[in-house]
């Protein structure tokens, strides 16, 4: 078996951004990587970077449950039925006022960002159960702290992911499987419009952050029982404010002042 007893990680959305940075980091640390994405050219270059002996790559549409099961079966054949870390990372972004969004875009957001995560967890659970100390890890978002205007449905899918993670972190204890997520802010990936990235604050919770920072959170999460990983850490302030003063936060968002706050301000 190519994994040869190494720990293993299965990553969706691995061809670029957070997924690619995570694949690189885990490969550097000696893990066997399963890298899956719809972007097959991106996977080809990733395989060249980390080495074919250190990974298995394949095309995957996370909205297709049977395809997900087939991808995991191919991965498990390389690892002897082991899966130390499932990283449900694949996601898409669609923005704009809710009343102006095509309903097809709304449905696609739900299919990829929520149904895709459900497909992954449900399909991978037998492997996670079979692997001592395994972790089910998912990319949520800072928009899961409070519903964000102009990305309302995206935000809703990420709220769902966060709630699902919290529930499963309790349920999965019965199997010895942990569950956790990451709530990234403004990460320098293709999902962020170039104009937004160029105009991002230089400091504060919504400063532009490299994908490697999220990859590091995934790495740290494997050795921790922490539930939510905020990147950057100041995003946690937003989560607390959303719980303690939701009306005040609503008014800040409506006034457009949220993204100008300094570190530590709530």
The crossing angle, in degrees rounded to 10, of helices 103-110 and 152-171 is 20
Q: For residues 241, 242, 247 and 253, what is the CA-based torsion angle, rounded to 10 degrees?
A: 90
Please say whether the beta carbons of 252 and 205 come within 8 A: no
Catalytic site residue from 36, 146, 154, 222: 154
Cα–Cα separations (whole angstroms), residue 180 to 41, 90, 204, 205, 218: 30, 16, 24, 21, 9
Within 10 angstroms of residue 7's Cβ, the number of other Cβ atoms is 19
Could you give the 3-state DSSP secondary structure of residue 16? coil
- At residue 164's C-alpha, the angle toward residues 162 and 166, to 5°, is 70
154 is catalytic: yes
Structure tokens at 2: 């190519």
Write phi, then psi, for 152 (nearest 5 degrees). Answer: -60, -45
Which active-site residues does the annotation give?
Answer: 154
């Amino acid at each position: 078996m190519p994994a040869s007893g190494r720990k293993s990680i299965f990553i969706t959305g691995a061809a670029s951004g957070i997924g690619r940075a995570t694949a690189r980091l885990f490969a550097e640390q000696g893990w066997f990587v399963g890298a899956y994405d719809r972007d097959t050219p991106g996977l080809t270059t990733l395989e060249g970077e980390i080495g074919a002996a250190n990974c298995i790559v394949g095309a995957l549409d996370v909205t297709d449950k049977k395809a997900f099961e087939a991808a995991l079966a191919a991965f498990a054949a390389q690892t002897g039925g082991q899966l130390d870390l499932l990283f449900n990372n694949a996601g898409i972004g669609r923005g704009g006022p809710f009343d102006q969004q095509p309903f097809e875009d709304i449905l696609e957001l739900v299919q990829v960002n929520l149904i895709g995560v459900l497909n992954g967890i449900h399909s991978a659970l037998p492997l996670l159960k079979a692997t001592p100390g395994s972790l089910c890890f998912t990319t949520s978002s800072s928009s899961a702290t409070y519903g964000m205007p102009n990305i309302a449905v995206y935000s809703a899918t990420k709220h769902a992911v966060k709630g699902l993670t919290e529930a499963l972190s309790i349920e999965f204890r019965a199997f010895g499987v942990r569950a956790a997520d990451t709530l990234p802010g403004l990460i320098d990936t293709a999902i962020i419009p170039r104009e937004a990235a160029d105009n991002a604050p230089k400091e504060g919770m919504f400063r532009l952050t490299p994908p490697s920072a999220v990859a590091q959170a995934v790495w740290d999460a494997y050795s921790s029982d922490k539930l939510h990983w905020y990147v950057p850490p100041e995003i946690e302030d937003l989560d607390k404010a959303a719980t303690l003063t939701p009306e005040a936060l609503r008014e800040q968002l409506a006034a457009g002042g949220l993204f100008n706050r300094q570190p530590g301000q709530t």
